[in-house]
Homo-oligomer: A and B are copies of this chain.
């Protein structure tokens, strides 16, 4: 019998996870220690599911919604499940507190994946009875529109837990990637951070406006990267493939990296300048509306990607 999935933490990330699992046909039990967060959950879910149906990303929003139930006791969400996705507030002490509670009520084989985007599992699972079952399963927000998930074991996480989490993510349509051991920022935010650092530096030195640096990605680099990674991209950018590319351009990229060998903090002045340019383009009060636009763009892109996969015969 297929067991339900537990979701602990029903904010933006947790509610997104509930949709991922329910969309794939799984029953979901959601708990949050804040009563208000649980109260607003149904309306938030309905709004997201309506959007997904509009973009033909799900057939029947009511059916998906019906698979998600709210419970007001932690033990009810996690007691009879094989897998729990934890998405509580990202601070080590908050994570630690919930894992101590979870450790008392979960079964001995229940795997718990944390949505932590930066804190490694070793910082909040050390010393717990079932720590071999705990690991990071880091999504991008919202997880039902951006499929990648970083699987990051603590030093004591069992291979079985890694395999179970990976198989589950595969089975619900996410794209799991294996980060073999803990590293600050994992892979995704390290890659993002590297690009951001160069972007901030170019802006600080006056080479280009914030808007033009953004366009260089959105009308340039990001087009290929939306369906091919950076290595596959360069593999096709030299006649002899990746080796040929690395030999031709390694020297140029090394020279550029050496110009950046003394990383500096993003200064208050730099941040204020960037803030002014962004707020001129988009007032702070319109940020929420623009985020909705972003999510709708991501939905349209997801529909497009599904069509392309079908066309590729995958």
Contacts and interface: CB of A to CB of B under 8 A. Distances in A.
Interface in A244-269: 246-247, 250-266
A98 interface: no
Contact of A202 (B190, B209, B222, B258): B190
A250 B236 contact: no
Contacts of A147: 219-220
Given A178-B208, A192-B221, A297 B227 contact: yes
Nearest to A253: B193
Given A193-B256, A196-B234, A224-B294, A275 B241 contact: yes
B226 A301 contact: yes
A222 B215 contact: no
Contacts of A246: 266, 271, 274
A236 B291 contact: yes
Contacts of A307: 300
A188 B146 contact: no
Interface of A: 118, 140-141, 145-148, 150, 175, 177-181, 183-185, 187-199, 202, 206-232, 234-237, 240-243, 246-247, 250-266, 271-272, 274-275, 278-279, 282, 284, 287, 290-291, 293-294, 297-298, 300-301, 304, 307-308, 311-312
Contact of A178 (B118, B212, B297): B212
Q: Name the residue in A221, A307, A311 with the highest tally of chain B Cβ atoms < 10 Å from its Cβ.
A: A221
B272 A223 contact: no
Nearest to A298: B223
Given A230-B192, A258-B263, A278 B235 contact: yes
B243 A272 contact: yes
A15 to B, nearest CB: 17
A25 to B, nearest CB: 21
Contacts of A215: 148, 175, 177, 229
A184 to B, nearest CB: 6
Contacts of A218: 225-229, 232
Contacts of A211: 229
Contacts of A141: 237
Given A218-B228, A225-B222, A301-B226, A184 B255 contact: yes
A258 B162 CA distance: 30
Given A178-B209, A207-B183, A252-B118, A308 B298 contact: no
14 contacts: A146-B220, A179-B212, A214-B229, A216-B229, A222-B225, A222-B226, A222-B227, A224-B298, A241-B287, A242-B271, A243-B275, A246-B271, A254-B263, A257-B260
Given A223-B146, A256-B185, A261-B263, A231 B192 contact: no
Contacts of A312: 293
Given A193-B257, A241-B284, 16 more contacts: A180-B207, A194-B198, A194-B256, A213-B231, A214-B229, A214-B231, A218-B229, A222-B222, A236-B290, A241-B287, A243-B271, A243-B272, A246-B266, A254-B265, A261-B261, A261-B262
